[in-house]
Amino acid sequence: MASSTNQRAQSKQQPGHLEIIGETAAKLRLFQQGWNPYSRFLDVDKVDLILRRSTGNNPEYREIQVKYRKLFQGQNPAEVESQLFTGTAWYTSGPDEFAHHRPGFFIMFIFGYHNRQLEEDSLIFPSRDLHEIIQLAPNHDKAGKKRSLYISKVGNGNRWFVRRTRKKFTAITSENCVDVTKYCNNFDLLN
């Protein structure tokens, strides 16, 4: 009995499960915005969902890559992290992962908490914009082959930042963070 419970707990921690949760949440949010989302069963060209909607007789299409990330909240009130940000998620990327831009290709970040609750906010980036932001992120490794994208939320005011440094800081400035609030729940970017 204990081993089957342990197996279920381990399987829920595997990345595939989190991808499905993120894509399902993205489908619901996009459907609420008037798009018909379709899943791609083969992750070709980084596309997880194809969106379709008709405006008159002309169908419109968009391609979405969904990134589900856990939003970690600071545990120690004395930490600078907890004083500046209410939650942080991270994504490791190659510097040129989104270098090939094409119109209609977007990356959507869906965030969840450790208690399985989904964050109300999602971030939607045109691929060109995310590529430029990744260039400002700190290196993940000494060779510079990967970048660490630290995405942080401030309070309940829907303010979001991507850090430009791994060093600790005591105030949010343009030197240490990029304000990405304009991408928060901005479904108009898909138009």
Q: What percent of the chain has pLDDT over 90?
A: 57
Q: What is the pLDDT of residues 24-53, one digit of tens each?
A: 999 999 999 999 898 866 666 788 999 999
What would the pLDDT profile of 74-116 be if each residue is shown by its tens digit? 654 445 566 788 889 999 999 999 998 888 999 999 999 888 8
Domain 2-190 has CATH 3.40.1350.10: yes
The span from the CA of 161 to the CA of 172, in Å, is 9
- Domain ranges for the chain, please list them: 2-190
What is the per-residue burial (b if ≥16 Cβ within 10 Å, else e) of 110-144?
bbbeeeeebbebbbbbbbebbbebbeebeebeeee
pLDDT at 154 over 50: yes
The residue count of the chain comes to: 191
pLDDT of 84 reads 87
Beta strand pairing call for 36-39 and 49-55: antiparallel
Closest CA to 185 of 32, 20, 21: 32
At 68 the pLDDT is 94
Query: Do β-strands 58-70 and 105-112 pair in parallel, antiparallel, or remain unpaired?
Result: parallel
Tell me the Ramachandran region of residue 167: left when phi exceeds 0, alpha when psi lies from -120 to 50, beta otherwise.
Answer: beta
